[in-house]
Every structure is written in structure tokens, then in C-alpha cells.
């Protein structure tokens, strides 16, 4: 299977698809997908937002270890097939793990997380010494 197709005119491409169909394309049920991430820097903190709809708070594990913030969720699957009534039920939740190197300016003891409406938001407050200092007027003597 090629990842990139040649740019060919319509008819040869159509014939190529008919003569060489790729029937073996399958997406494994344990495929891992990474959620989209937004990272914002404010004066007093950083914010990391991950788009992860369909989860519950208990599905996440957030760890801070040696300057690395790791966010993960494990996959759960339920498949039920009843042959007599031709009923089929499938549930699947993708697993993922995202890790971020956190700058030294972050106070790791004050990191907070909130999950609402499919968005996991992690707030990383900056240390007091890393905050912008007000201008200081120096008088000449």
C-alpha cells in the first residue's frame, strides 16, 4: 500500500483503482489517536487544553515527573454480537498518552486540571519569581 498516490488523470486513476483495489485496508480497534492540543501562555500561568470528547474525569491520568507532564487515558472496548437476532453493539474508546516538557518557571505544586464539555484544561501557574516585575523608578542622587 502506498501512502502517496501519483497524480494521474481521472480515467487512468479510475482504472488503476479497479484493477488494483486495496481491499486489505483495515483500521485496528486498538489504534491510538492523539487529541488536539492548545497551549496558551498568560502573564501568570500556562494553559493546556486537550479536545477529548466522550470521556469522564475518572478516565484520565495526569502525572508530573522530573519536569515532564504526562496525560493519558486507556482504551476500553465492549463488543456484543447476538447471532439469533442479528444485534451488534460496539463501544470503543481510544487510548492516548501526551507528554509535555514543563519550563522551570512553572510551580509544580499548584498545577490544576478541569474537564468539562469534552475539553480537558490544565492550568500551570508560574512561580512568583517568574512573574513580570513592575517597573522600578531609580532616583538619581
Instruction: Write the CB contacts of 115 (distance below 8 Å, at least 6 apart in sequence).
Output: 52, 55, 56, 57, 60, 121
Distance CA 91, CA 77 (A): 6
Predicted local confidence at residue 34, as pLDDT = 83
Predicted local confidence at residue 29, as pLDDT = 43
CATH of domain 36-130: 2.60.40.790
Predicted local confidence at residue 80, as pLDDT = 62
Cell of 34: 492523539
Distance CA 43, CA 120 (A): 21
CA separation, residue 14 to residues 8, 26, 61, 125 (Å) = 9, 21, 47, 56
Under a CB-based contact definition with an 8 Å cutoff, are residues 125 and 45 in contact?
yes
Place of cell 491520568: 61
Domain boundaries of the chain, sorted by first residue: 36-130
Tell which residue, 55, 95, 98, has the closest CA to residue 75.
95
CA separation, residue 137 to residues 30, 95, 132 (Å) = 61, 54, 15
How would you write the pLDDT of the chain (141 residues) with one tens digit per residue?
333 444 445 455 555 555 555 444 444 444 457 889 999 999 999 999 999 988 889 989 999 999 999 999 886 666 666 666 656 655 655 688 999 999 999 999 999 999 999 999 999 999 988 777 788 888 898
Instruction: Write the CB contacts of 94 (distance below 8 Å, at least 6 apart in sequence).
Output: 31, 32, 33, 73, 75
Predicted local confidence at residue 60, as pLDDT = 92
Predicted local confidence at residue 3, as pLDDT = 38
Amino acid at each position: 500500500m502506498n501512502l502517496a498516490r501519483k497524480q494521474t488523470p481521472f480515467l487512468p486513476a479510475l482504472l488503476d483503482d479497479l484493477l488494483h483495489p486495496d481491499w486489505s485496508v483495515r483500521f485496528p480497534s486498538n489504534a491510538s489517536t492523539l487529541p488536539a492540543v492548545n497551549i496558551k501562555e498568560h502573564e501568570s500561568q500556562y494553559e493546556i487544553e486537550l479536545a477529548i470528547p466522550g470521556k469522564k474525569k475518572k478516565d484520565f491520568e495526569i502525572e508530573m515527573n522530573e519536569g515532564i507532564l504526562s496525560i493519558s487515558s486507556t482504551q476500553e472496548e465492549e463488543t456484543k454480537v447476538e447471532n439469533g437476532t442479528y444485534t451488534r453493539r460496539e463501544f470503543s474508546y481510544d487510548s492516548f498518552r501526551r507528554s509535555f516538557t514543563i519550563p522551570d518557571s512553572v510551580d509544580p505544586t499548584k498545577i490544576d486540571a478541569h474537564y468539562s464539555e469534552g475539553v480537558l484544561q490544565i492550568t500551570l501557574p508560574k512561580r512568583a519569581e517568574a512573574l513580570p516585575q513592575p517597573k522600578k523608578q531609580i532616583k538619581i542622587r
